[in-house]
A = this chain, B = another copy of it.
Amino acid sequence: MYLEDFGKAVGHKSRAAILLALIGGKALPASELAYRAKISNQTASSHLAILEDLNMIFVRQCGRHRYYELVDHDIADAIEALASKLKLGLRDEKVSDHLRYARFCYDHLAGVLGVSITIRLLEKGVLGADTDTFKVVDSQHSVFEKLEIDLECLGRKRRLLAPKCIDWSERVPHVAGSLGAAIAVSLEKQKMIERSKEDRSVKITRKGYIFLERELNISREILNNQ
């Protein structure tokens, strides 16, 4: 991919809005993306074709439905990284406090919540920090059991286990990669967090509040900020 291709992809309000929606990590249908970008379905369709040409997204056909996704998480990471480096605003996202507080960064958690989880895992000695990645120090810790995360299984994947990802709102590294994704999936599956239907923000449920306080000792002060 060439620099100007990336530029062309994000260089239009509507396409930027579409990509920003997809950074949420959910696969979304064209009509939903049109709604989010505030354009007609036809127009969205043409933008989607452009983004597909540029190899930024692909479509997953499920019966009569077509869901669009980013081709890979590098693209999400790159956009977040860019936003943090250049102190970019993200015009079309109402940059709500919800979004700042907790959101999906493709397939893992970012914002105050993502960073807090990372920090607590480091302080508890579950994770350690390398230059560009985190590493698991205490693989026997009860967190992994509670979240039903099979580290061996994750380790066998080709994807990096726990690279650092820096987001625009906090500018502090948080856990990404297959571990970051596994944490987010598990929290969602166990109904500790709930995705917003509007955007990529998430809400901590009552159950999640208790888990995060008891198991990770995230302070109530932080948790109540939601």
Contacts and interface: CB of A to CB of B under 8 A. Distances in A.
Interface in A159-200: 173
Interface string A12-23: 110110001000
B4 A82 contact: no
B1 A10 contact: no
Interface in A12-64: 12-13, 15-16, 20
| Copies of this polypeptide in the complex | 2
Contacts of A8: 7, 11-12
21 contacts: A1-B88, A1-B89, A2-B88, A2-B91, A3-B16, A3-B88, A3-B91, A4-B10, A4-B11, A4-B13, A4-B15, A4-B91, A6-B7, A6-B10, A6-B82, A7-B10, A7-B15, A8-B12, A11-B11, A78-B82, A81-B81
Closest 8 CB pairs of A and B: A7-B11, A11-B11, A7-B10, A78-B85, A4-B16, A8-B11, A2-B91, A7-B7
